[in-house]
Amino acid sequence: MKQAIFRSRLLPWALAAPQLIVLFLFFYLPILLAFFWAFHLEQPFGGGSQFVGLQNFRRVLGSAEFWSSAGATLLYMVLASGSSILAALILALAADRALKVSPVARNVFLWPKAVASASIGVVFVFILNPYLGILAPLNDLWPGIWNPRTNAVHTWIMLFAANVWSAIPFSFIILLAGLQAIPQELHKAGAMDGAGPWRRLRDIQLPLLTPQLFVVIVLEVADSLSGSFGLIDTMTQGGPGGATNLLVYKIYADGFKAYDLSGAATQTVILMALVACVTGLQYVFLERKVKYDR
């Protein structure tokens, strides 16, 4: 480790204390409380709380609704982060070339960062409104060809479109920075060896981009989940028929609308475990990759 120069017993702790307190209160304590509630049956108004062991987990894991929600969550994590990273990668590869539009594109592609997922949800739900939106003429010609309110496939398409839109900036910045850090000499050497652009993409750019790709994958998987709430709450409310009722949304509904504190806490614990596992594994893997490369 670098630095570590000053000696003091109290000062570093005093410096770190404010953040540690905030983290304890609003990050670690909620986690602890979730675990506590997951093993108790909690009366909403706090009248009583009884220890029930694994009963909450049995109940949650035994409900078909939970599994369909968990399935939808996994599907969303994979497809939403996958589609947005792919889009950002293509755009970054294009913007890496010194074209006239590149500077403009590099600026504009960051703009969605300024738009909350809930805001773009409001906008997309209007634009893609089956009767009043941009696709309404299609519906006039072929009724029912586009109806995200009843057709789950259409709903998913709408969600992914909005998610790609709002998730482009972060991945784009990181991937572009990675691409630009690849030395020109490697390109030249590749070209002299007769490797065409596709070949160089596959053999030079992508392998050298792995550290950035991993960062983007790790963060995008977690981000897609937290951003999903704003999209779902404004666009689908979990519908149609629960098709887009992701765990993040279901926990909110169970806890805040139905006062099922124990059930919501149990699902929170399960979801946190899932995300922590996925992210933790990637972190371990990623750390090694980054060190290897730089």
Partner 1 sequence: MLKTTALSALALSAAAAHAADIDFWYGNTGTGEAAIQAACAAFNEAQDDHRVTCIGQGGYETGMQKAIAAYRSGQHPALIQFFDAGTLDLMLSGAVMPVAEFAPDADWDGYITGARSYYETSQGALYSQPYNGSTLIFYGNRALLAKAGIEALPQSWEGVAEAARALKAAGVDCPFVTDGHPWRVLEQFAARHGLPVATRNNGYGGLDAEYVFNQGPVAQHLQNLADWRDDGLVKLDADTAAGNYATAFNTGECAMMEGSTGSYGAAHAALGDKVEIAMAPIYDGYARHNTLIGGASIWVMKGHSEADYDAARAFLDFLRQDEQQIEFTRATGYVPVTESALAALQASPEAASLEFATAGVGVDSLNQPGNPDSRGIRLGFYVQFRDIFMEETQKAFTGGQSMQAALDNAAACGNALLRRFEQTYQGVALP
Partner 2 sequence: MIENTRSIDRAAGAVLIAGLAFVLAPLAIVVVTATQSYEDFLARNFSLVPGTHLIGNLREIWTRTDLPRQTLNSVIVAAIVATGRVGLALCTAYAVVFFTGRGRGLVYAAAVASIMLPLELMIITAYQVTANVALPVNAVANMGGWWAALTGGPLDLHWNLLDSYAGISLPLMAQGSATLILVQFFRTLPPQLARAAIIDGAGPLRFLRDILLPLSKGPLTALGIYMFIGAWVQYMWPLVAASSPARTMAVVGLARLQEDGERIPDFPLQMTGAILVTLPPLILIALFQRRIVRGLALSEK
Binding residues for partner 1 (CB under 8 A) = 41-47, 50, 59, 63-65, 129, 131-132, 147, 149-152, 238-242, 245, 253-254, 256-260, 263
252 binds, among partner 2, partner 1, none (CB under 5 to 8 A by kind): partner 2
Determine the size of the site formed for partner 2 (CB under 8 A). 110
Taking the C-alpha atoms of residue 56 and residue 40, their distance in angstroms, rounded to an integer, is 8
**Does residue 64 interact with partner 2 by CB under 8 A?**
no
Q: Whose Cβ is closer to partner 1: residue 102's or residue 147's?
A: 147
Pick the binder of partner 2 from 61, 74, 79, 191 (CB under 8 A): 191
In a 13 Å sphere around the CA of 207, the CA atoms on its Cβ side amount to 9
Taking the C-alpha atoms of residue 95 and residue 176, their distance in angstroms, rounded to an integer, is 7
Q: Are 289 and 65 in contact (CB under 8 A)?
A: no
**Does residue 217 interact with partner 2 by CB under 8 A?**
no
CB under 8 A: which stretch of 57-65, 77-85, 150-158, 208-216 binds partner 2?
Answer: 208-216
CA nearest neighbour of 253 among 270, 233, 273 = 233
Nearby residues of 239 by Cβ (< 8 Å), 6 or more positions away: 149, 155, 245
45 binds, among partner 2, partner 1, none (CB under 5 to 8 A by kind): partner 1
CA nearest neighbour of 242 among 253, 255, 230 = 253
116 binds, among partner 2, partner 1, none (CB under 5 to 8 A by kind): partner 2
**Does residue 159 interact with partner 2 by CB under 8 A?**
no
Q: Whose Cβ is closer to partner 2: residue 7's or residue 62's?
A: 7
Q: Whose Cβ is closer to partner 2: residue 72's or residue 261's?
A: 261
CA nearest neighbour of 164 among 237, 229, 109, 102 = 109
Length, in residues, of the chain:
294
292 binds, among partner 2, partner 1, none (CB under 5 to 8 A by kind): none
197 binds, among partner 1, partner 2, none (CB under 5 to 8 A by kind): partner 2
Supply the minimum distance, in Å, between the C-beta of residue 174 and partner 2: 5
Nearby residues of 161 by Cβ (< 8 Å), 6 or more positions away: 124, 128
**Does residue 98 interact with partner 2 by CB under 8 A?**
yes
Nearby residues of 164 by Cβ (< 8 Å), 6 or more positions away: 80, 83, 84, 87
Pick the binder of partner 2 from 54, 75, 136, 258 (CB under 8 A): 136
CA nearest neighbour of 249 among 68, 13, 51 = 68
Supply the minimum distance, in Å, between the C-beta of residue 63 and partner 2: 18
**Does residue 86 interact with partner 2 by CB under 8 A?**
no
Q: Are 199 and 190 in contact (CB under 8 A)?
A: yes
Q: Whose Cβ is closer to partner 2: residue 105's or residue 152's?
A: 105
**Does residue 285 interact with partner 2 by CB under 8 A?**
no
